[in-house]
Structure 1
Amino acid sequence: MSTTLTVPLRHVAGFRNFWLSRAVSGLGSAITTVALPVLVFQESGSPLLVSLVAASATLPYLAFGLIAGAVSDRVDRRTLMIVTDVLNALCIGSVPLAWAMGWLTAGHVVAVAFLSSSLALFFDAGVYGFVPDIVGKESLTQANSAIYGAETVVRIAGNAVAGGLIALFRPAGTLALDALSFAVSALFIRAVTNVAARIAPAGARPGFKESISEGLRFLAGHPTLRVMTVVGTLQSFSGGAIVGQLVVFADRVLGIHGSDGRIGLLYMAWSAGGIGGSMLLPRLRRRFDAFPLLLWVLPVGALLGLVVVLTTDWRIALVALAVWGTAYLVVLVNTMTYSQEVTPSELQGRVNTTRRMLSSGLGVPLGALVASTITLSVGIRAGMATAVVSITLAAVVVWVVQLRRRLSPAQ
């Protein structure tokens, strides 16, 4: 079980600066999440290009996940994060600049969406090893909960104000705020000075291909982490199914149509659940180890999902989505924290980007695709039920592994 530092994390200067970088950048990115699809649709009128912009959030994990992990374990992570933030500021900033000059095209916007997400992937690869270096592995639960809690709050706030900012500055002009947020984030990362550079001598490093294989071998060879990666992928599958079908579910089952403001409340409930999860996880980890915690949280998530699927009352769905979102984030951050705790520092980037590639890069889009296909062929309740089935399967996997371990203690 996790222990805690005697000094609160808010008094650790390095963590405080890193937390501020994530909050500022997260707010800008939340605004861009709304502005980019609006902008590309204005420029092209193409639903396909809008879908490509949405897919750009996860496609880089499939394309570059293994590479990003290997790079982050071969260079100074702090420098990598600063460079990617600066490049992202230039990347996003190119959109309002091109718009002001009359040069903006839909292709430019789609390319920026993919490039920005790819740069963010390399930044995240550095984060996995950077945070343990700042706070120590004994305080990872508190640190990750604080980071994800802040990102959830600013995501909700950013989504809420995005519409007004788009109306005021136009979609392209709004992106200038995100470009500024990346620049500010780079300054906060630069202010983290209590982390030594970790660059292995060139002669001590394996070849790039071997470096990637080393990370894969560690992940595949660690029994608990391997199972938790499978569980995380199933959980992400459920998240893709929920978010991808929520508008259709609201329209056909809950009676929330068109521009009814209650649809925003449903999305907000799901996101706000993450705040509850970030507050709850440190308390749970003081009582339970990482793997046993999943034995109870996953069934709770499956039960809440069943409530959502079966209800026709939007108020019940609202509450169930919020609590379901809490359980979802507990599993997400608990898995990531455990992975950071058991992974050697020199392998953090490779192991965690591979794990994230399977969950976010594969699980989320696959869940959205499968759920939409079932909705079209069977119905919306069946489509939403795929999320419940996925979480239930994750719970079954965890319980079977736990029972096998109790029956065979030597394993």
Structure 2
Amino acid sequence: MTNSQLPSPLRTAAFRRFWLSRAVSGLGSAVTTVALPVLVYRESGSPLLVSLVAAAGTLPYLVFGLPAGALADRVDRRALMVAADTLSALALASVPAARALGVLTAAQVVAVAFLASGLALFFDAGGYGLVPALVGKERLARANSALYGAETVVRIVGSAVAGGLIALFDPAGALALDALSFAGSALLLRALGSAGATADRPAAEARPAAEARAMTGDRPGLVAEVREGLRFLAGHRTLRTMTAVGTLQSFSGGAVVGQLVVLADRGLGLHGADGRIGLLYLAWSGGGIGGSLLLPRLRRRFGAFELLLGVLPAGALLGTAVVLATDWRICVPALAAWGTAYLVVLVNTMTYAQEVTPPELQGRVNTARRTLSSGLGVPLGALVAGTVTATAGLRPGLATAVVALLLAAALVWSVHLRDTRGLRRRAAVRTG
């Protein structure tokens, strides 16, 4: 049976519950993404603290990324994810509770933002190993596309309704809804029950030798296990290359999203409260939905590495169109198409990593990758693009995103051409 003939992952009860848990909590988190900066600014009036809330979304990757992956490979993954969702619900619920008691401070809001992002990291670390166990490696591309597609849709919907919810409940009240969404997600994960049993055991049990070490207590320490994951990542040439591509891709995403407001104002003549500014964000996110639908079809025709040979140059070309656009009617469709290419690369590289990584290393290898992309690539891209825009202008600032994609394309093509020459030399030796 070919991959296209396999039933949809959403027809698997355990994965369907997991998918629903991500959609529910993602909707609440989309509201929180808007509500937290508004709340901390109301409490403090400080732009610096607002920036700290934004930084809290990526800083945990640098602080906890590698230990989180090692922990996820040691323990019951599903239990880790339930605990992360439960603690997230409690942390977020503390904000409206403190507001009701009249003791809420901006420092608490910033701390909750950091804690929630850190807990999400531990949740993701468990999910990297749980998803392949639920659907099998043959359906990973379709499963990840379904997850990212749902995440994109709920992010759009959540962002769209956030303003109304903030006005209705105030920002602290809006966070209570997110707390409820995490509680609902935890209940759905608990309901996986025996359907998710293969993913519930410690990853060490995936191999008899590792299981024996666990039973005798003779297993390496956390630092040694982190190193084991890093050695696998560094020693797998294709995965190493695709990790570099994913980091450059994330750099480009951070660069373009961080400059969308400036693009609207200085490049497209959309000033102040012009509603068309929202179309830029909608185009980028909407393009992601297209990418989630397109990836499974592309993976049926092309290998994971082969796919990058065409999509990365296409993304650079579409990015160039955005950089040069002076009319929003040209920029919006170009940005949507770029967003499609962006998500195809993002999910493709993640799926490949899950396909080639042994079960007992899933958490460590994939959180290491995520630390480089989300923890380093996204904020670095935003920082570099913002600095270049401030010193050299909007177009050069946006062009940093295109340069990152061109570097990624050059990397995969250089590897491909080197491999092709090697194959030809070996063929010539055999025929000679």
What TM-score comes out, normalization by structure 1 length?
A: 0.98
Q: RMSD of aligned C-alpha atoms?
A: 1.0
Q: CA separation in 1, counterparts of 2:187 and 2:113?
A: 23
- In structure 1, the partner of 2:347 is 333
Q: 1:355 aligns with which of 341, 351, 369?
A: 369
Q: CA separation in 2, counterparts of 1:39 and 1:359?
A: 28
Q: CA deviation digits over 1:83-128, x for unaligned, max 9?
A: 0100000000000000111010000000000000000000000000
Q: Does 1:297 align with 2:298?
A: no
Contact 1:89 1:183 in 2 (8 A): yes
- In structure 2, the partner of 1:402 is 416
Contact 1:4 1:138 in 2 (8 A): no
Q: 1:279 aligns with which of 272, 278, 293?
A: 293
Q: CA separation in 1, counterparts of 2:108 and 2:223?
A: 33
- In structure 1, the partner of 2:55 is 55
Q: 1:324 aligns with which of 323, 331, 338?
A: 338
Q: Aligned with 2:220: secondary structure?
A: coil
1:162-241 mapped onto 2 (5 Å cutoff): 162-193=162-193, 194-196=195-197, 197-199=200-202, 200=204, 201=214, 203-241=217-255
Letter of the structure 2 residue corresponding to residue 376 of structure 1: A
Contact 1:265 1:318 in 2 (8 A): yes
Q: CA separation in 1, counterparts of 2:201 and 2:172?
A: 39
- Cα offset, 1:9, TM superposition: 2.0
Q: Aligned with 1:408: secondary structure?
A: helix
Letter of the structure 1 residue corresponding to residue 333 of structure 2: V
Contact 1:39 1:172 in 2 (8 A): yes
Q: Aligned with 2:259: secondary structure?
A: helix
Contact 1:92 1:179 in 2 (8 A): yes
Q: CA separation in 1, counterparts of 2:419 and 2:192?
A: 42
- Cα offset, 1:183, TM superposition: 0.2
Contact 2:4 2:300 in 1 (8 A): no
Q: CA separation in 2, counterparts of 1:214 and 1:204?
A: 15
- In structure 2, the partner of 1:364 is 378
Q: Aligned with 2:196: secondary structure?
A: coil
Q: Aligned with 1:206: secondary structure?
A: coil
Q: Aligned with 2:264: secondary structure?
A: helix
- Cα offset, 1:6, TM superposition: 2.9
Q: CA separation in 1, counterparts of 2:330 and 2:97?
A: 46
Contact 1:241 1:368 in 2 (8 A): yes
Q: Aligned with 1:157: secondary structure?
A: helix
Q: 2:402 aligns with which of 375, 388, 393?
A: 388
Contact 1:25 1:178 in 2 (8 A): yes
- In structure 2, the partner of 1:159 is 159
Letter of the structure 1 residue corresponding to residue 415 of structure 2: V
Q: CA separation in 1, counterparts of 2:8 and 2:140?
A: 12
Contact 2:21 2:186 in 1 (8 A): yes
**Given the superposition, is the C-alpha separation of residues 5 and 126 from structure 1 closer, same or farther in structure 2, using an over 3 Å criterion?**
farther
- Cα offset, 1:242, TM superposition: 0.4
- Cα offset, 1:7, TM superposition: 2.6
- Cα offset, 1:5, TM superposition: 6.0
Letter of the structure 1 residue corresponding to residue 28 of structure 2: G
- In structure 1, the partner of 2:211 is none
Q: CA separation in 2, counterparts of 1:133 and 1:115?
A: 28
Q: CA deviation digits over 1:17-41, x for unaligned, max 9?
A: 0000000000000000000000000
The alignment of Structure 1 onto Structure 2 pairs a total of residues equal to: 409
Q: 1:261 aligns with which of 265, 271, 275?
A: 275
Q: CA deviation digits over 1:193-238, x for unaligned, max 9?
A: 2223322325253211110000000000000000000000000000
What TM-score comes out, normalization by structure 2 length?
A: 0.93
Q: What runs of 5+ residues in structure 2 fail to find an aligned partner?
A: 205-213, 427-432
1:16-95 mapped onto 2 (5 Å cutoff): 16-95=16-95
Q: CA separation in 1, counterparts of 2:11 and 2:344?
A: 25
Q: What runs of 5+ residues in structure 1 fail to find an aligned partner?
A: none
Q: CA separation in 1, counterparts of 2:259 and 2:348?
A: 26
Q: CA separation in 2, counterparts of 1:330 and 1:55?
A: 26
Letter of the structure 2 residue corresponding to residue 273 of structure 1: G
Contact 2:8 2:142 in 1 (8 A): no
Q: CA separation in 2, counterparts of 1:393 and 1:335?
A: 16
Taking every aligned residue pair, what percent have the same amino acid on both sides? 72
Letter of the structure 1 residue corresponding to residue 344 of structure 2: V
Letter of the structure 1 residue corresponding to residue 370 of structure 2: R
Q: CA separation in 1, counterparts of 2:20 and 2:327?
A: 39
Q: CA deviation digits over 1:239-295, x for unaligned, max 9?
A: 010011110111001001111111111001000101000000000000000000000
Q: CA separation in 2, counterparts of 1:179 and 1:73?
A: 27
Q: 2:360 aligns with which of 341, 346, 350?
A: 346
